[in-house]
Amino acid sequence: METTLVTIAQFDDNFEADLAKALLEDNGINAWLKNAITYSMVPGIAPERFYIELQVSSEDEILAREILSGQRSSSEIRDILVAEQAILEGHFQLTSGKHSNMYIEKIRLFQNPAATLRICELLAELLEPLDYDTVVGPAYGGIVLAFEVARINEANFLFTQRKDEKMTIREGFDLSQVKKAVIVEDILTTGGSVKEVIACLKDNGIEVVAVAAIVDRGGGRVDFGCPFLKLLELDIPAWEAEDCELCREGIVLSKPGSSDKKI
């Protein structure tokens, strides 16, 4: 079968193009540069006519875009988390029930609309290449993010909530035109709630194309059975309560947040 190449980025500098190509190849993705020779031979050529195009096979497009976007956005997301004082250190009980020495307080992000908007722009950029008609946000943290991402990428929006201990789509949404969806969340550790959302959508005949999150604090170990795109990946320790090192040291336990998510 003949390989179909797609352009995923354009550059007006050979050095930056070479760096991006090397990054993809270091992650096991074959990449090619189109127009690189022409550009180097004629350095004064009009860039709008001969951008250097970074190309990959269509099969690798989603992962390649994730790698490039992640490389650009991880540093910015870290800066936003620090600026909004959203990274807390101590002894915390997560909503999954596990304990950790670090907690990301997403409310600090949402308190600043400008920071939230920038995060949504980065999430929208991650999801833009995918084929979907609806962005789904789990209540409550995912609602703001999903709504704004849907607006930016000109898609529909809906949200899910837990009712009588079962994940459901909020009553009142018209699902007749909802065929393919992406799920947008804030901070994930185990992905328990998102897995419930995926099951809920599938029960309603909706295909889940991808999951996207601001932070994956599980170190990339969560498998949703579809692409999992994230702006920042952290490997933060989390222990079962009975195995918690901080409990054994007698450090006071904090229980931030009050949602019923299983992150």
Domain of 138, CATH number, reads 3.40.50.2020
Question: Both 54 and 98 in a single domain?
Answer: no
Question: How many domains does one find in the chain?
Answer: 2
Query: Is residue 102 a part of any domain in this protein?
Result: yes
Question: Both 173 and 218 in a single domain?
Answer: yes
pLDDT score, position 39: 46
β-bridge mates for residue 136, sequence order: 158, 183
Question: If residue 7 lies in a helix (H) or strand (E), which one and from where to where?
Answer: strand 5-11
pLDDT in tens, 213-247: 999 988 888 999 999 998 988 888 889 999 999 99
pLDDT score, position 11: 82
Question: Both 216 and 123 in a single domain?
Answer: yes
Strand order in the sheet with 207-216: 166-169, 156-163, 134-138, 180-188, 207-216, 228-233
Q: Which residues contact 82 (CB under 8 A, 6 or more apart)?
A: none
pLDDT score, position 63: 81
Query: Is residue 73 a part of any domain in this protein?
Result: no
Query: Is residue 206 a part of any domain in this protein?
Result: yes
Question: Both 96 and 175 in a single domain?
Answer: yes
The structure's pTM equals 0.72
In the predicted structure, residue 38 carries a pLDDT above the cut 70: no
Question: Both 205 and 242 in a single domain?
Answer: yes
Q: Is the sign of the CA dihedral 47, 72, 185, 198 positive or negative? A: positive
242: Cα separation from own chain's centroid? 31
Distance CA 263, CA 254 (A): 17
β-bridge mates for residue 26, sequence order: none
pLDDT score, position 47: 47
Query: Is residue 260 a part of any domain in this protein?
Result: no
Distance CA 101, CA 117 (A): 28
Query: Is residue 242 a part of any domain in this protein?
Result: yes
pLDDT score, position 75: 77
Query: Is residue 77 a part of any domain in this protein?
Result: no
Question: Both 52 and 153 in a single domain?
Answer: no
Question: Both 55 and 102 in a single domain?
Answer: no
Question: Both 228 and 111 in a single domain?
Answer: yes
Query: Is residue 164 a part of any domain in this protein?
Result: yes
Query: Is residue 255 a part of any domain in this protein?
Result: no
Question: If residue 229 lies in a helix (H) or strand (E), which one and from where to where?
Answer: strand 228-233
Answer for the pair 194, 202: CB distance below 8 angstroms, yes or no: no
The residue length of the chain stands at 263
Query: In this structure, which amino acid lies at residue 141?
Result: G
Encoded tokens for 2: 């003949």
pLDDT score, position 7: 92
Residue 221 half-sphere exposure toward CB, CA atoms < 13 A: 11
Distance CA 249, CA 88 (A): 19
Range of the domain at 181: 84-248
In the predicted structure, residue 201 carries a pLDDT above the cut 60: yes
